[in-house]
Amino acid sequence: MQIDYSKRIFGLDLMRAIAILFVVGSHVLWVFPEVDGPLVTLLRLCGVMGVEIFFVLSGFLIGRILYRIFTNPEFKVADLKYFIIRRWFRTLPNYYLILLINIALVIYLGRQLPESLGYYFVFLQNFSSGMDIFFTESWSLPIEEFAYIVGPVLFYLAVLLWKTKNREWIFFWVTLAIIAFFLVTKVGYNSSTGSNTLDYWNINLKAVVLYRIDAIYYGVLAAFVSLKYAEFWKRTTFTFLFLGIILFVGLHILISNLGLTPQSHPFFINVLYLPMCSIFIAMSLPFLSRLKRVPNYLLKPITWVSLISYSMYLLHYSIILQLMRFYVSPTEISEPEKWLYTLSYLALTFLLSHILYRFFEKPMMDIRDRAYFKQKFQQQ
C-alpha cells in the first residue's frame, strides 16, 4: 500500500489514530466485565472522547474545504455538489457494506432484526431518540452525514440572501448559528427530561443527531480561525495546546471530585459538558494541524492506523467482538485466556480493517478523483 506522506499532516493523523485507539481500547472492557475501578472509568471516558475527537477533527477538515469553497469569488453550486459527493464516497460504501454484514450476522446468529432496520439505510436510526441495540457504533455516522448537508445548505442559502456581504463573516455567523441551535436543542432535552441515569443520557442525548451536530461545528469554527487568522493560529500553537489539556483534565477532575452526574447536575451534564469537551479538544488543533515532521518509526505506524481508522471503527465491535463473544464467552475463560482473547480481538481488528481499507474503502474513494466526476462538476 503506497502512502504519499508528503501530502499528509502527521498531527491530524495522530489525532485520528488516538481517537480510534481510544474507542477500540474501551471495548476491551467487554472482555473483563468483572473489573472495576479508576482504570475502568478512564477507559470508558476514552471511548466517549474518542468519538468526540473524530467529530471535532471531521469538522475541522470539512470546515477548511467549505470555507475555501464559499469564499471563492467563482463559487458555483457544482462545487457544493462535488463536495458532498466526495464525502459520500468517503463514508457511504463502507457504511452500507458493514450494515449488510451486520444484517447477515444477526440472521446467521438466529437473532431478531430491529423493527427500525429501514431507518439505518437513511441515517435516521437515532435522529431524535436513542437507537436499537443493533450496529450500535453506527450512531455517530448519522451525525456526520447530517452535518455534511446542514452546514453547506445553510451557507449556500446565506450567500444567496446576503450577496453583497463578506462571505468570510457569513461563514462565521452561520457556523455560530448552527452551534447555538444545537445548544438550544440540548436545553430543550434538559427541560423535558431533566435528571436521569448515565446510561439513559448515553443513549438518548450523547448519541442522538438532534442534540449533537454542534460537536462537528466546533471543528468548523476552528477551521475558520485557522484560515481567517492564520498568524494568530501559528502564534497560539503551544498556548492553546497547554490550555486545552489543563481545562480538559481539570473539567474531569472537577466532575469526579464533585460527583457531577446527569442525575445530580442535569443542566451541566446535559447542556454544557459535551460542548466544553469539544472546545477543549479543538484547542489542540493549532498545534496538531502544524505538526508534520516526526521520525519514521512514529510516522509510518500512526499514519497507517489513521488510514484504516474508519474501517476499524465499523468492524471492531458489532462484527469482530460480538462474533468472538458468540463463539467464546469471556465469562467462561480464565484470566490468562482473557488476555489472549484481547490480543486476538486487537489483531483481528487491525488485520481485517487493513484488508477492508486496502481492497474496498480506498478503491471506492479513488472513484471520486476520476476525470468523469471532475468534468461533471466542472472541477479543475
103-124 mean pLDDT? 96
**C-alpha span between 190 and 266 (Å, rounded):** 7
299-328 mean pLDDT? 97
**C-alpha span between 20 and 315 (Å, rounded):** 12
- pLDDT, one tens digit per residue, over 150-205 is 999 999 999 988 877 799 999 999 999 999 999 999 999 999 998 899 999 999 99
115-142 mean pLDDT? 97
Q: Exposed (0-12), middle (13-18) or buried (19+): which is 157, by Cβ within 10 Å?
A: exposed
The answer to whether 291 touches 11, Cβ cutoff 8 Å, is yes
pLDDT at 379: 62
Reading the block at residue 105, the C-alpha cell is 450476522
87-100 mean pLDDT? 97
* Helix, strand, coil fractions of the chain, as percent rounded to 5: 80, 0, 20
pLDDT band at 378 (very low <50, low <70, confident <90, very high): low
More confidently predicted of 293 and 49: 49
Contacts of 160 (CB under 8 A, 6+ apart): none
pLDDT at 48: 96
337-360 mean pLDDT? 98
**C-alpha span between 105 and 98 (Å, rounded):** 10
Half-sphere exposure (Cβ direction) of 304: Cα atoms closer than 13 Å: 13
Amino acid at 232: F
**C-alpha span between 89 and 101 (Å, rounded):** 19
**C-alpha span between 86 and 247 (Å, rounded):** 35
Please state the φ and ψ torsions of residue 120, each to the nearest 5 degrees: -65, -30
pLDDT at 216: 99
**Residue whose C-alpha is closest to residue 132's, from 149, 120, 141, 147:** 120
The model scores a pTM over 0.85: yes
**Residue whose C-alpha is closest to residue 309's, from 83, 9, 12, 6:** 12
